[in-house]
Structure 1
């Protein structure tokens, strides 16, 4: 695993030890960023089930101003911190060891505006995708924001999260990537 492009291109990233966390492969990560970027002109990213921090770090390397990493597992938290340090991205990051529900409530309370939301919960926890809908409904997603969901190919996600509709879906081996963008209302 490595940073694919941007200011930290080529730096190796550590995976979370053990088998509880499934890392996003470099191939899938490169495809995600080709669909949504590939580069950014600032903004805030939230990596809600961060694992190793792989996706949020890639977003920072490609121009996102700051990223909030949310992860409740201790081994994963340590890995995120090590990867941020290795990439010299600590000052552009906030890392929280809390569950996703508390993180969503904290984001709402702080009235943050999210440009890029990564959702990669454990594959058997489909209900966690409801957090994306909560962030949309509470007005935390910018109108130009993007929601990226990584999920098992057998999991069917909703066609929309409030005003954000499924814009693109790709399958890579056993992994689906679903991209949501704000629905554009057609004028009469």
Structure 2
């Protein structure tokens, strides 16, 4: 695994040891960021199931100002800390070891809002529609925020999701990537 482009491009990242996480392949990560528009002009990102932290680190490398990386596994947090150290810019990252639900409550209490949310939960725990509505209820999204969802291909989205427009959807083997824009 590596950081593909941007300020930290080319630097190697560690994977979380063991079988509890499924790192996004470089090929899929490159496709995701091509779908997002390649580079960002500032903003704040949230990686809710961070794993190795690769997606959030890529977002900051490509121009996001700051990213929150959330994971509940100790091994993942250790790996994220090692991977953030590779950037030599730890001030651009906030790392929390806690379940996603608890992190969302803490972020909502702090009145944080995001330009980009990265969702790559364990495939057995996919709750994309619930989480998309939770973001709205908790006022976590800036106008025009983008939510990138990585799931397995078994998830089917309804034709309309309140408050969102489906911008793009693409399959990569067993992985499906969907990009939503928050429309209020």
Give how far 1:162 is off: 3.3
Aligned to 2:83: 83
Unpaired runs of 5+ residues, structure 2, are none
State the alpha-carbon separation in 2 of the partners of residues 78 and 90 from structure 1.
14
Encode CA deviations 1:72-103: one digit per residue, 9 max, x unaligned.
00000000000000121311110000000001
TM-score, normalised relative to structure 1: 0.93
TM-score, normalised relative to structure 2: 0.95
Unpaired runs of 5+ residues, structure 1, are none
State the alpha-carbon separation in 1 of the partners of residues 75 and 55 from structure 2.
17
Aligned runs of 1:18-97 on 2, under 5 Å? 18-97=18-97
Counterpart contact for 1:4–1:30, Cα < 8 Å? yes
Counterpart contact for 1:159–1:165, Cα < 8 Å? no
Counterpart contact for 1:160–1:180, Cα < 8 Å? no
Encode CA deviations 1:25-65: one digit per residue, 9 max, x unaligned.
00100111111121111000000000000000000000000
Give how far 1:139 is off: 2.2
Structure 1 stretches of 4+ moved >4 Å: 158-161
Aligned to 1:177: 177
Q: How many residues align?
A: 184
Aligned to 2:165: 165
Are 1:3 and 2:3 counterparts? Answer: yes
State the alpha-carbon separation in 1 of the partners of residues 41 and 180 from structure 2.
19
State the alpha-carbon separation in 1 of the partners of residues 169 and 149 from structure 2.
9
Change (3 A) 1:22 1:159: farther
